[in-house]
Chains A and B, each alone.
Chain A
Amino acid sequence: MSDALLGAVDILNALLLLTGFLLVGYKRLLPYVRVYAFQSMLLAALSLALALQTGIFHLYVMAALTLLIKGALIPWSLFALIARLQIKREIETTINVPLSLLSAGALVVLAQWVAQPLLARGAGGMSITLIVSLALVLMGLFLMATRRKAITQIVGLLTMENGLFLTGVAMTSGMPMLVELGVLFDVFVGISILGIFVFRIRQAFDTVDMEQLRELKG
């Protein structure tokens, strides 16, 4: 890999990890979605860097689609949803911010630990990217487990998916193209459906706090 590209990948790795911490630390909704959009753009840039280096055609396609769908289309619809629901309140968490950040740090260590056996088996080309990607998956899971608002859960899900996409890029230069396209399509449709549900839930329950959904038990 040329030095310039290598440097770029390093910076992108660092920024991607930063977005994970920002998501865990933020308490307001709008910056939250902005961070997700930024994260997706970084992802597109990283795919592009790898595409330039390897010349693999489908990485160019994925970089463009990631930018278009995850960097623009999905954040834009989430902004529209927030505006229409007029959600202004802060994000309510079950764990406070310092403890959340501390947990996020622990998750990075965990990701490092999980990545070791894979690195030992030849996933060494982009070792830092692999660790960052696993950390993002874990942070996404963490967000889903600790955040109560519907939209923050959606962003948690999306972060997890971004992490998985990055894992694919780091380990195998992406999945076969048709599969990647299918996954992207599923994610887009899935997020649209969840968005519609948020809307209907707001109408039926007058809240988007998922802790309030407790009719079904046993």
Chain B
Amino acid sequence: MGALQALLILPLATALVCALLKSGRLLAIVHAAGAAGTVGLGLWVVWGVAQNGPLTLIEQWLRLDALSAWLLLIIVAVGGWAAWSSVPYLAEERRKGVFPQTKLREYYALFHAFWGTMLWMAVCDNLGLMWVFVEATTLSTAFLVAFYNEKRALEAAWKYVILSFVGIALALFGTLLVYFSSLTGLGEKGGLLSWVTLVQQASQLDPGVLKLAFALVLIGYGTKMGLAPMHTWLPDAHSQAPAPISALLSGVLLNCAFYALLRFHLILVEAGLGGFSSSLLLAFGLLTLGLGALFILVQEDYKRLLAYSSVENMGLVAVGFGFNAKAAAFGALLHLLYHALSKALLFLSSGFLYLRFGSKRIADVTGALRSTPWVAIAFFAGVISIIGVPPFGVFMSKFSILSAGFASNHAWAGGLLIGWTALAFVGFLHAAAPMVLGKGRDDLVREPSWTWGPLLALAGLLLIFGLYLPEPLRALLDQVLEMIKP
């Protein structure tokens, strides 16, 4: 069995074992072993693609190319950290009696199931199958969003499932239209919705149908990735879930939805309709970016603030591809990685802030640096990173998108981009600075290192990636850029 097959089976097997175990010590061991295995296999597979190029598992159905590998890398990295932090985070919550012991089993089983569905989604060559797995990610996270089972969590989960369902139904319609165009344009040669086949034969697909399909898919997967105005469920779901799950939802699942959208965009580019799809991406991206920035400015709840920041950043990524220029796409791809890691760091550390201060209100958290210094440092590193202060990588990715925008004659959009990101910068700092640096209670409690250790390690990785991107990752990015020909 190859590494890729093992990677696809391991998380689901771990989920199954977790579901069967009693909530106890063995559960934590199975979780840790499963997570370590998934991360190891994932990195190995990504390394393989960076060295040897695409890998076809099942013709027409499962295939791993550079773009999938890039997404796989993000899923594995953020997932690994979320898995690591889950252990101390849940232990602390258990100590406070936030949820009953028996629910631990549910948490770990669903965690691995969720992780697994994302990995499957990333290796789908088939657009129909990809839809099935995007929907599966919604289903596997429904009970995680509703984990605390209180009013707010239930409301958030209900909205999340219903709106994702409706959105994604439109994406299914779009997928169906692409299938229709491939059958009428190519007959038997059209294949069974395989992305590779569609890209190869893109010029023979009906442009009118493709445009309609893309519009539907944009609304559909756009709902799942938090594009305005379909983003309304997102701040609720991401703020109600347990912190490590929020990290996965915001850091990775949004990227997965964007990835699905991107596959369709690439078909349109190949069919010579790149102008159409990228201008739609640009318009929706700018709207999303602006709305996210405005909501950051008025937020009183820090988990919702982080969620709106995700909305803003997904808008930025959409704009990056909307500029329809290679340099901007490069920036957007980098931004996917940097945003994922930064947002994971922010959500994970905000979880520990919540445990310490017992409130999600920004005003209730002051001077965290005095009472829980390491967590506060990790949180602040995340803030500095996400708003784009060098030497963190987000600065570079934002800058690449922006300069490519101006270079490709999008001065107007570029100006808006500067304005909105500046607004988000101010809003974020204004909210976060008092939380970390303000006058606090002087009741320093020694937190054991296994709680904040993962957070500082992630902050360190973020810093290193900002300064130096390892060679295999560069090779991978080059391969992805070759797939994107504006």
Contact = CB atoms under 8 A, between A and B. Distances in A.
A178 B131 contact: no
Given A160-B166, A201-B158, A216-B156, A171 B129 contact: no
A216 B150 CA distance: 12
Contacts of A214: 155
A197 B154 CA distance: 7
A182 B128 contact: yes
A159 to B, nearest CB: 11
A213 B132 contact: no
B184 interface: yes
Interface string B139-173: 10011001001111011111101100110010011
B220 to A, nearest CB: 11
B298 A218 contact: yes
A175 B298 contact: no
Given A121-B209, A197-B161, A215 B151 contact: yes
A99 interface: no
A154 B310 CA distance: 29
A200 B149 contact: yes
Given A160-B166, A186-B139, A204 B131 contact: no
A160 B151 contact: no
A218 B299 contact: yes
A98 interface: no
A213 B129 contact: no
Interface stretch (A59-67, A83-91, A103-111, A187-195): A187-195
A164 B176 CA distance: 9
B470 interface: no
A5 interface: no
B269 to A, nearest CB: 22
A215 B206 CA distance: 46
Interface residues of B, number: 53
B392 interface: no
B395 interface: no
B160 to A, nearest CB: 10
Given A117-B208, A123-B180, A197-B158, A175 B149 contact: no
A153 B166 CA distance: 11
Contact of A175 (B155, B161, B176): B176
Contacts of B183: 172
Contacts of A218: 235, 295, 298-300, 304
Nearest to A189: B139
Interface string A124-156: 000000000000010001001000001001000
B168 to A, nearest CB: 9
Among B135, B150, B206, B300, max chain A CB count under 10 A is at B135
B161 A193 contact: yes
A161 B165 CA distance: 10
Interface residues of A, number: 41
B452 interface: no
B342 interface: no
A179 B128 contact: yes
A80 interface: no
Contacts of A40: none
A157 to B, nearest CB: 6
A216 B152 contact: yes
B207 to A, nearest CB: 11
Given A121-B208, A160-B166, A201-B158, 11 more contacts: A123-B180, A153-B162, A172-B183, A176-B192, A183-B131, A185-B132, A186-B139, A213-B151, A216-B152, A216-B155, A216-B240
Interface of B: 61, 126, 128-129, 131-133, 135-136, 138-139, 142-143, 146, 149-152, 154-159, 161-162, 165-166, 169, 172-173, 175-177, 179-181, 183-184, 192-193, 206, 208-209, 212, 235-236, 240, 295, 298-300, 304
Interface of A: 117-118, 121-123, 137, 141, 144, 150, 153, 157, 160-161, 164, 167-168, 171-172, 175-176, 178-179, 182-183, 185-186, 189-190, 193-194, 197, 200-201, 204-205, 210, 213-216, 218
Closest 8 CB pairs of A and B: A179-B128, A182-B132, A176-B192, A186-B135, A213-B155, A216-B236, A122-B184, A171-B180
